Chain A
Amino acid sequence: MSIVLYIIVMAGVTYLIRMIPFAFFRKKISSAFLRSFLFYIPYAVLAAMTFPAIFYSTGKPVTAAVGTAVALGLAYFRLPLIAVALAASLAAFGTGFLV
């Protein structure tokens, strides 16, 4: 399939999700269940995307595991996103020379 079609669908859906509520929504969501569901969605989706895929992200499970551990540790201490991402990458890179 042409990549153009993929990109159109990808960009179109992403835009509509942002645009429709931004342009037309005027009320507040009142359902506590729906609010809770929407509150958890980003965490659940990011977690499902990250694990276990992160262990395959560098080509070697060992370097990826070290990078993951570093990311978890630094994220726990609330370092900025960029610092965590770069440190995880550097840790994986460094481990690559040892194993």
Chain B
Amino acid sequence: MRKHPEFISGLTAGIPIGLGYLSVSFGFGITAVRLGISVFSAFIISLTNLTSAGQAQGVEIIAAGGTLIEMALVQLVINMRYALMAISLSQNLDKSFTLRHRFIAAYGITDEIFAVCSTRKKPVTPSYMYGIIIVSSFGWTLGTVLGAAAGELLPAELISAMGIMLYGMFIAIIVPPAAENRKILLVILFACALSVVCKYLLTFISGGFAVIICGVTASLLGAWLFPVKEEEKK
């Protein structure tokens, strides 16, 4: 154990993330099965994607029989934030982080792992990041399988009620910054308004594309009307 202090400290840092993922991905597993996706497919999706919002929208597209182009564009837009996080994180890497390690560790750039890695005082080593990723990915896939399998065992009312879990998590992510920053709040309200218009008036736009259109339009408007100064970012 003493030989791998970085890996061990990564595993330790990953525990709260893994536990959090376990309960949230339980909701994803339930949703996936309810949409007609098998337990095994749900497991593979969670293992290969390791992301909540992208997966939640992805299974909707699969269930609706959307096109592969729609799938690719939706993942691109929803997960675009990871590109930004990857750029930010790439500035604080240890020298031992060779290209090969970057190819592997890129898999584990999520909101929470990014938050933990980017707030670390020391430069991030591959071992440290692998430690976090292993625990987090384990929690995420285990939760998915448990949720997908339990979907058939738990009472229907409970399963229905758990359908709101992922959305609850999204609210928990966006509300605190919106309460502090009026610009973020306005962009969020604009995105919601557009989304409602798409849902009830522009019904020919499929769900996945609607998310892209609303998200990109609201962000462009935000960038145009309320440019962000460097110090506002966390």
Interface residues of A (CB under 8 A from B): 1, 3, 5-7, 9-11, 13-15, 17-23, 25-26, 28-29, 32-54, 57-60, 63-64, 67-68, 71-72, 74-76, 78-90, 92-93, 96-97
A1 neighbours in B (Cβ, 8 Å):
65, 68
B118 beta carbon closer than 8 Å to chain A: no
Quote the shortest CB–CB distance from A10 to chain B (angstroms): 5
Q: Is the interface of B mostly helix, strand, loop or mixed?
A: helix
Quote the shortest CB–CB distance from B35 to chain A (angstroms): 11
**What range describes how many residues of B lie at the interface?**
35 or more
6 interchain residue pairs of minimum CB distance? A88-B168, A93-B161, A75-B175, A11-B48, A45-B215, A48-B214
Q: A6-B58, A49-B211, A58-B161 are in contact. Are A23 and B171 (CB under 8 A)?
A: no
Contact in complex: B106, A71 (CB < 8 Å): no
B45 neighbours in A (Cβ, 8 Å):
7, 10-11
B194 beta carbon closer than 8 Å to chain A: yes
Q: Is the interface of A mostly helix, strand, loop or mixed?
A: helix
Contact in complex: B195, A36 (CB < 8 Å): no
Interface residues of B (CB under 8 A from A): 19-20, 23-24, 27, 37, 41, 44-45, 48-51, 53-58, 61-62, 65, 68, 71-72, 75-84, 86-87, 89-91, 99, 102-103, 105-107, 109, 111, 157-158, 160-179, 184, 187-192, 194-196, 199, 207, 210-211, 214-216, 218-220, 222-224, 226-228, 230, 232-233
Contact in complex: B102, A23 (CB < 8 Å): yes
Q: A9 CA to B73 CA in the complex, in Å?
A: 10
A28 neighbours in B (Cβ, 8 Å):
87, 91
Which of A23, A59, A71 touches B99 (beta carbons < 8 Å)?
A23
Q: Could you list some 6 contacts between A and B, CB below 8 A?
A: A18-B83, A25-B87, A41-B77, A44-B187, A48-B210, A71-B168
Contact in complex: B228, A47 (CB < 8 Å): no
Q: A70 CA to B68 CA in the complex, in Å?
A: 36
B164 neighbours in A (Cβ, 8 Å):
54, 57-58, 64, 67-68, 71, 85, 88-89, 92
Which of B68, B166, B207, B222 touches A40 (beta carbons < 8 Å)?
B222
Contact in complex: B196, A22 (CB < 8 Å): no
5 more A-B residue pairs beyond the given contacts A32-B227, A81-B20, with a C-beta to C-beta distance below 8 A: A7-B48, A10-B48, A43-B177, A47-B218, A49-B170
